[in-house]
Structure 1
Amino acid sequence: MITITDAAAAQVQEMMKEEEDANVKLRVGVKGGGCSGLSYGMGFDTEVEETDNVIEQNGLSVLVDNDSADVLEGVVIDYKQNMMGGGFTIDNPNAIANCGCGSSFKTATRAGTPEDC
């Protein structure tokens, strides 16, 4: 299960207001890439696929494909604001290594496909 904090949910809902389709949902997933082999992806989607898990949390419908679900189990997505601006943070208890720039990771069971950074 993914946890979306109140701050992250509020930011996503603000961003959703700019979307033209009222049925838009938040999609969270993992794909190969980055220095450590796996990278997070977050975006909006209106299509629910057969292989998607749909999680309702903090007023959001969150889509997670089956391939990403095990890697994202226990993840906490937050939104933090500071003097330099704001951004989403992802705390993944499954990650055993992260790249120096913080944009990719690997788990004990999935190494992904590392790329040069």
Structure 2
Amino acid sequence: MITISELANEKIKEMLEAEAAPELFLRVGVKEGGCSGFSYNMGFDDAVASTDQEMEFNGLKVVVDGDSMKYLNGLEIDWKEAGMGGGFTITNPNATATCGCGSSFRTATEAGNPAAEPC
């Protein structure tokens, strides 16, 4: 299970509305790569696979592929305002190491592997 803050939920819904495609939903996943071993992947999609896990957060449909869920269980997505705008933040209890940029991570299982590329 993942959690999306109320503010992040509102921002994602605004972005979806701007797409003007009611069939779209938020897809969250991971892919191999990045400074620490895995990179987060968030974007809009319109196709659900049989191995996907579907969730709903206050009217927002979120889909996570089955392979990614083991790395994202307990994940928290939030929105933080900053002086020049704002952005999404991700807190992942499965990550034992993260890159300074915050967009990649490593789990305890992968902790023995060298970083894929420098930050």
TM-score range, shorter chain: over 0.9
Distance 2:110 2:51 in 1: 19
Equivalent residue number for residue 109 of structure 1: 109
SS in 2 for 1:50: coil
Gaps of 5+ in 1: none
Equivalent residue number for residue 68 of structure 2: 68
Distance 1:110 1:13 in 2: 34
Distance 2:110 2:61 in 1: 26
Structure 1: which amino acid aligns with 2:16?
A: M
Equivalent residue number for residue 53 of structure 2: 53
8 Å Cα contact 1:29-1:40 kept in structure 2: yes
Distance 2:9 2:75 in 1: 14
**What's the offset of the Cα at 1:50?**
1.1
Distance 1:46 1:100 in 2: 32
Higher alpha-carbon deviation: 50-59 or 86-95? 50-59
Structure 1: which amino acid aligns with 2:23?
A: N
**What's the offset of the Cα at 1:51?**
1.3
Structure with larger RCO (C-alpha < 8 A, sep 6+): 1
Structure 2: which amino acid aligns with 1:104?
A: S
What TM-score comes out, normalization by structure 1 length? 0.93
Distance 1:35 1:88 in 2: 19
What TM-score comes out, normalization by structure 2 length? 0.92
Distance 1:58 1:110 in 2: 34
Superimposed CA distance per residue, residues 12-37 of structure 1 (whole angstroms, 9 cap, x where no aligned partner): 00000111321111000000111101
User: Is 1:34–2:34 an aligned residue pair?
Assistant: yes
RMSD: 1.5
8 Å Cα contact 1:37-1:114 kept in structure 2: yes
Equivalent residue number for residue 89 of structure 1: 89
User: Is 1:25–2:50 an aligned residue pair?
Assistant: no
Structure 2: which amino acid aligns with 1:115?
A: E
Indicate the percent of aligned positions where both proteins have the same amino acid: 57
Aligned residues: 117
